[in-house]
């Protein structure tokens, strides 16, 4: 009878030990939050600037013999030299600009006191990718799904006596480099008569203008 009592006590002791172990494993971590810290940085707005990077730029359409004029007027008078064609860098770091555009306008061709009428001066620009900076390895500002926001060329347009848009961005943030598309740039002399012509050099000046439209301020 005595042995049975000892076994029962041993069993009680074991049960008691397991219960104590269970209490020791309870989560007693105390969380204390003394406060929070703010992290911030500012973005400062920039400017829209444009520059022509070619010194003494010019459009060289070569020369035409009077004896060949009848044939020449039936074809496009193409550029003969591309060494000094104008090139541009448009930098837009102004987030308030909704869109910008570059226009070109050619004055009438003159040769001394003679003015040549009915000439069409067709011009086209080929813009490069609008990038986040001027560095060669700079990333493109916009992906394929936002390509409409990058700079766009309008193709070949007649700029004779008319300020025509040749390049635009909406808003094209970043740096856009544009050059003359030689295939889209030519003179059309089909409406010029031989009687109008005088020997010598005809010259015209092309005026470039950058325009911008600010974003409409939100109503307060």
Residues paired with 105 in a beta bridge:
207
Confidence (pLDDT) at 215? 77
Statement: residue 92 has pLDDT above 50? yes
Quote the tokens at residue 118. 């009915």
Of 30-39, 43-52, 83-92, 117-126, the least confident = 30-39
Confidence (pLDDT) at 72? 87
CA–CA distance, 186 with 100 (Å, rounded to integer): 25
CA–CA distance, 112 with 25 (Å, rounded to integer): 104
pLDDT band of residue 86 (cuts 50, 70, 90) is very high
Contact (Cβ atoms closer than 8 angstroms) between residue 102 and residue 92: no
pLDDT band of residue 220 (cuts 50, 70, 90) is very low
Closest Cα partner for 111 from 205, 204, 207, 206? 204
Confidence (pLDDT) at 25? 59
* Mean pLDDT of the 34-53 span: 93
Question: Which is more confident, 144 or 30?
Answer: 144
Confidence (pLDDT) at 106? 98
pLDDT band of residue 2 (cuts 50, 70, 90) is very low
Confidence (pLDDT) at 12? 38
Q: Percent of the chain having pLDDT more than 70? A: 85
Statement: residue 41 has pLDDT above 80? yes
Task: Give the burial class of 199: count Cβ atoms within 10 A of its Cβ; 0-12 exposed, 13-18 middle, 19 or more buried.
Answer: exposed
Q: What are phi and psi of 151, to 5 degrees?
A: -65, 145
What's the pTM value of the predicted model, to 2 decimals? 0.79
**Domain map (residue ranges) of the chain:** 48-194
pLDDT tens across 153-204, in order?
A: 999 999 999 999 999 999 999 999 999 999 999 999 999 999 999 999 999 9
Confidence (pLDDT) at 9? 38
Quote the tokens at residue 23. 């209490």
- N-term to C-term CA, the chain: 95
13 secondary structure, DSSP code = H
């Amino acid at each position: 009878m005595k042995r049975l009592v000892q076994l029962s006590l041993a069993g009680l002791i074991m049960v008691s030990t397991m219960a104590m172990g269970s209490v020791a494993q309870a989560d007693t971590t105390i969380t204390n939050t003394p406060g929070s810290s703010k992290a911030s940085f500012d973005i400062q707005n920039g400017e829209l600037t444009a520059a022509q990077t070619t010194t003494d730029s010019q459009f060289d359409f070569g020369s035409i013999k009077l004896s060949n004029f009848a044939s020449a007027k039936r074809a496009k008078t193409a550029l003969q030299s591309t060494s000094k064609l104008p090139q541009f860098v448009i930098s837009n770091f102004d987030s308030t600009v909704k869109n910008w555009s570059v226009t070109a306008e050619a004055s009438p061709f003159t040769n001394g006191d003679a003015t040549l009428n009915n000439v069409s001066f067709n011009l086209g620009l080929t813009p490069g990718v609008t990038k986040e900076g001027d560095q060669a390895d700079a990333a493109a500002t916009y992906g394929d799904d936002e390509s409409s926001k990058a700079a766009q060329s309008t193709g070949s347009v007649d700029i004779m006596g008319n300020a025509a848009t040749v390049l635009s961005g909406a808003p094209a943030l970043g740096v856009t480099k544009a050059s003359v598309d030689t295939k889209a740039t030519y003179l059309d002399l089909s409406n010029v008569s031989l009687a109008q012509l005088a020997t010598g050099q005809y010259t015209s000046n092309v005026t470039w203008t950058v325009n911008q439209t600010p974003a409409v301020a939100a109503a307060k």
